[in-house]
Amino acid sequence: MIAFADLLERLVFTPGRLAKLALLRRYFATVPDPDRGFALAAITGALKFPTAKAGLIRELAAARTDPVLFDLSYDYVGDLAETVALIWPERPTNAATPSLSEVVATLASAAKADLPAIVATWLDASDASVRLALLKLITGGLRVGASGRLAKTALAELGQGISADDIEEVWHGLTPPYGELFAWIEGRGPKPDPRHAPVFRAPMLAHPLEESDLADLVAAEHRAEWKWDGIRVQLVATQGGRALYSRGAEDISGAFPEILAGVAFHAVLDGELLVMRDGVVAPFADLQQRLNRKSVTAKMQRDFPVHIRLYDMLFDGAEDLRRLSFDERRARLEAWFARTQPARMDLSEQIAFSSLEDLAELRHAARAASIEGLMLKRADSPYVPGRPKGLWWKWKRDPLSIDAVLMYAQRGHGKRSSYYSDFTFGLWRGDELLPVGKAYFGFTDEELVMLDKFVRNNTTQRFGPVREVAKSMVVEVAFDAAQLSTRHKSGVALRFPRISRIRTDKPAAEADQLETLLALVERS
């Protein structure tokens, strides 16, 4: 655990992608198996410990510390693992600091009733740095500024002629601690064969289209499609099995069994998962009812019927189409679709246009049709993992905005753990202020300092880590869409809210009424 703790600490305090890559590369090159494999699993989010919960950590801390001191410390630090790591009272012990592999094996196999004593022994035997790494591992939130993709890139750099995309190709056929993966990269074994599992391929992503990019865009060289407000998915159906993956490579098959039930083909398809009723796309709020679930009831499947709008085809059977141009892949997709007629799927619409002015008019009308905007794709673009600039563009409709009153604040995480950076804001309904959303980005570092100071100087009540503030600060909140919601007291939910401006010029009494927001609600 000592080497793993050192890695996490250095990643947190090391700025810059190249420096983080060097740290990861050195760790994977010097730490032996199986510890390095479990570290890779932790960073990529592949480790899950169902019996070890954050509540266990809270109970241990409550038994070892003054509860008032703990609450004050947690309020200041803003992170449970960091708070416990710092406040944990050291006790003399003969126990040795456990290895990473020992921790993983124990958390995976120990009875729930035995875990408190085991974890307490580990914490007693560790210094603050190792305690933090242990607690982050248990709670499943590393937050060290290093993504799974970055870890795979660092690992690939240890090999000869191997890329992060090559690792992605075999990743879903592997399990921690990835002994065969390290053997392949270090030249001690063959490339892992993923044929026994449906394999996720790294998706191709689009760049936001800015005004400055329009001057270099040639309309005739691009194809246009609508950008729908669902979630990007990859449907993998091979001889090794079938799976539905999110853009981040999470297997979401269990939440959408009706999609896989109709699969009787071999292909890898790229598309947008939507809730659709009678051919009409429902608001994103409906799709949210199905997300983040391991399984769903028959009633939920009936009430929120899902559908995939297909954008692209990566594999047709065993044939890899990714090096073909977009036009060629689209032709293959259309021919495959006509031949296969897959259930719960349709093709994205190819929009006819002759100029960028035509597209600008279509984009302007997108909100009225409850569409997020446009996608522009070069006709000759291959399917390239990552976000290569100049090939695919997303041209989203302009955001909406409201002037809202700051109501509550909570500390952030990681580098923001010392600042109040998560804000709840509300609108007036008569004389009553109702919360309508939360935002934790959109402001500059200087504005964050200003907001944090306001919260500290204007706190009226405390509810654990949350502070209620005087209703005097107005902020302009930008958002992509507003949708009706029975889960919120206000009756409305916002899509991607962010604080775009601090309105020091506006008194709270002049903030917007709830009716203003309800008039912006999208209905379909």
pLDDT in single tens digits along all 524 residues of the chain: 999 999 999 998 888 899 999 999 999 999 999 999 999 999 988 888 888 888 888 888 888 888 888 888 877 777 788 889 999 988 778 788 899 999 999 998 888 889 999 999 999 999 999 999 999 998 877 777 788 889 999 999 999 999 988 898 888 778 899 999 999 999 999 999 877 788 888 899 999 998 889 888 999 999 999 999 899 999 999 988 999 999 988 889 999 999 999 899 999 999 999 999 999 999 888 898 999 888 899 999 999 999 999 999 999 999 999 999 999 999 999 999 999 999 999 999 999 999 999 999 999 888 877 789 999 999 999 999 888 889 999 999 889 999 999 999 998 876 677 789 999 999 999 999 999 999 998 999 899 999 999 999 999 998 877 899 999 999 999 998 888 887 788 889 898 999 999 998 899 999 999 999 999 887 54
Q: Measured between alpha carbons, how far is 425 from 431 in angstroms, rounded to an integer?
A: 15
Q: How far apart are alpha carbons 122 and 97 in whole angstroms?
A: 6
For 406-472, the DSSP string reads EEEEEE-SGGGTTSEEEEEEEEEETTEEEEEEEE--SS-HHHHHHHHHHHHHSEEEEETTEEEE-TT
How many angstroms separate the CA atoms of 379 and 328, rounded? 9
Q: 207-396, superfamily in CATH?
A: DNA ligase/mRNA capping enzyme (3.30.470.30)
Q: If one looks up domain 2-139 in CATH, what number appears?
A: 1.10.3260.10
Q: Is the dihedral of CA 61, 89, 85, 35 positive or negative?
A: negative
Task: Report yes or no: 260 and 238 within 8 Å, Cβ to Cβ.
Answer: no
d(CA 148, CA 150): 5
User: Distances in Å between the alpha carbon of 53 and those of 57, 82, 107, 137, 422?
Assistant: 7, 15, 11, 11, 23
pTM of the model: 0.76
The ranges assigned to domains in the chain are 2-139, 207-396, 400-518
pLDDT at 414: 64
Phi, psi angles (nearest 5°) of residue 345: -145, 150
**Alpha carbon distance 177, 166 (integer Å):** 18
Compute CA 165 distance to the chain's CA centroid, rounded to the nearest angstrom. 19
Cα distance between residue 70 and residue 58, in whole Å: 10
Q: How far apart are alpha carbons 157 and 162 in whole angstroms?
A: 7
Helices 100-109 and 35-43 sit at what angle, rounded to 10 degrees? 70
Measuring CA to CA, which residue among 335, 406, 394, 342 is closest to residue 366? Answer: 394
Residue pair 148/129 in contact (Cβ under 8 Å)? The answer is no
Residues linked to residue 439 through DSSP beta bridges, in sequence order: 423
3-state secondary structure 132-200: HHHHHHHHCCCCCCCCHHHHHHHHHCCCCCCCHHHHHHHHCCCCCCCHHHHHHHCCCCCCCCHHHCCCC
Contact yes or no for 239/254 (Cβ under 8 A): no
pLDDT score at 363: 92
Distance CA 493, CA 477 (A): 13
**306, 273 contact by CB (below 8 A):** yes
User: For residue 236, what is the enclosing H or E element?
Assistant: strand 231-238
pLDDT score recorded for residue 72: 80
Which pLDDT belongs to residue 144?
A: 79
- Determine the Cα–Cα distance for residues 316 and 84; give it in Å rounded to an integer: 52
The Cβ of residue 367 has, within 10 Å, a number of other Cβ atoms equal to 18
**Secondary structure letter of residue 522 according to DSSP:** -
Helix (H) or strand (E) holding 27: helix 17-30
Please report, in angstroms and rounded to a whole number, the separation of the first and last CA atoms in the chain.
Answer: 53
Pairing of strands 432-439, 459-463: unpaired
Q: Which of 150, 126, 145 is nearest to 13 (CA)?
A: 145
**Widest CA span of the chain, in angstroms?**
77
39 contacts 4 by C-beta, under 8 angstroms: yes
User: Exposed, middle or buried, 511 (CB in 10 Å: 0-12/13-18/19+)?
Assistant: buried
Partners of 468 in beta bridges: 408, 461
Encode burial over 370-409: b for 16+ CB neighbours within 10 A, e otherwise: bbbbbbbbbeebbbebeeeeebbbebbbebbbbbbbbbbb
- 485 Rama class: left (phi>0) / alpha (psi -120 to 50) / beta: beta
* CA angle, residues 185, 155, 3, in degrees to nearest 5: 115
Tell me the CATH number of domain 400-518, given options 1.20.1260.120, 3.30.310.160, 3.30.750.24, 2.40.50.140.
2.40.50.140
Q: 508: helix, coil or strand? A: helix
102, containing H or E segment: helix 100-109
> Cα separation of 308 and 231, whole Å?
10
